[in-house]
Structure 1
């Protein structure tokens, strides 16, 4: 049943709250990505933003929650596009190639590189950084790919070696190659990513495809 709230105009107060939340996220995003997790504090953000601690805490009661919101915000478009490749019509091989290509393209962007470096640098001292990143970003991608693979298993195109483990195999191949680009060992380029995507999917299908899946 529709409540009518979907079409209700936003009040001035609601708009101001949304604007304030967006301003907090923007300031926190700059601080986390430029200064790191440890160097970012709620008190320092208040100096940048103004206002009271009570107001800031009403939006984000802890630095962990604020970091989680920043990661969700930074990776939102990334998650939508990469996961959207799995919903697009197409055969198994083409869908997986598109997924891998999109994954590598997105993880090569400047914000994605900054987040990756932040998580690697800080998660040893602050385990919550890695946990939050997995919950808000990496875990969504893994589960979406595992769900797609489970559908292909059910359709008889892939053999069942555990959909989540199989998803991690494919993501692991793309991530390992992407690391070389993130380190500057290999240049970022669309042609190279396309060839890598096709190669990784070929490996994956040789491991897991049934007769009908390899056609």
Structure 2
């Protein structure tokens, strides 16, 4: 009986993953408004009741899609932030990884979806912010707080996030996207010009 239950659960998880995969492609290629639960059910095949048994609404399905995308994009970054204490080397590793993830095809497609349809569907903006920028901000604050007071850690996390998002936005207005060397150059310039007085004072005091 346990084996049957296990197989049933595995099939259920595989079915859910298939739904999220189809929905991801539809949301990113067609947009939120043009994606319908009926069309996803048709592409999935089988009974439409199967789709509704996993997701009760399009917003709930979109939430699952964002969760899945963010998990793929942020897992390495979050691990660094959560388990590392602040250092310049750690900061560079985090900023570089985060920016490269922001510049990936899927992250850009999701960003464009927010810009294009966020005004008409504020609920997807709330979902996106909680699952993506909000989640990364919390992890960044934890990282900075290992060296700075909490209010300073919050400011540094906010400035870092704004700088990286701004660089990505600027890159999207250019005819050609920046290559890896240009991205690394920006990261080094950003860190060199980021004011970290508490950290630098502590480092100088230990010499």
Q: Quick one: structure 1 residues 91 and 56, their matched pair in 2 at CA, closer, same or farther if it must change by over 3 Å? A: closer
Alignment partners' CA distance in 1, 2:138 and 2:86: 20
* Alignment match of 1:172 (pick from 138, 157, 162): 162
Alignment check: 8 A CA contact 1:142 1:167 kept: yes
Question: Structure 1's 90 and 145: CA in aligned 2 closer, same or farther, altered over 3 A?
Answer: closer
State how many pairs are aligned: 204
Distance in structure 2 (CA, Å) of the matches to 1:152 and 1:50: 53
Deviation at 1:41, TM superposition (A): 1.2
- What CA deviation, in whole Å up to 9, does each residue of 1:153-208 have, x standing for no partner? 15xxxxx5443232111111111112122233553222111121122122223466
Q: Distance in 1 between matches of 2:29 and 2:82?
A: 35
Q: In structure 1, the residue corresponding to 2:195 is in which secondary structure? A: helix
Q: 5+ unaligned residues in a row in structure 1: which ranges?
A: 155-159
How far, CA to CA, are the matches of 2:201 and 2:82 in structure 1? 23
Relative to structure 1, is the Cα distance of residues 133 and 204 closer, same or farther in structure 2, using a 3 angstrom cutoff?
A: same
Measured after TM superposition, the shift of residue 89 of structure 1 is 4.9
With normalisation by structure 2, the TM-score equals 0.88
Identify the residue that residue 153 of structure 2 maps to in structure 1. 163
Which one has a larger percent helix, Structure 1 or Structure 2?
2
1:1-215 matches, within 5 Å, as 11-87=6-82, 89=84, 92-153=87-148, 161-185=151-175, 187-206=177-196, 209=199, 211-212=201-202
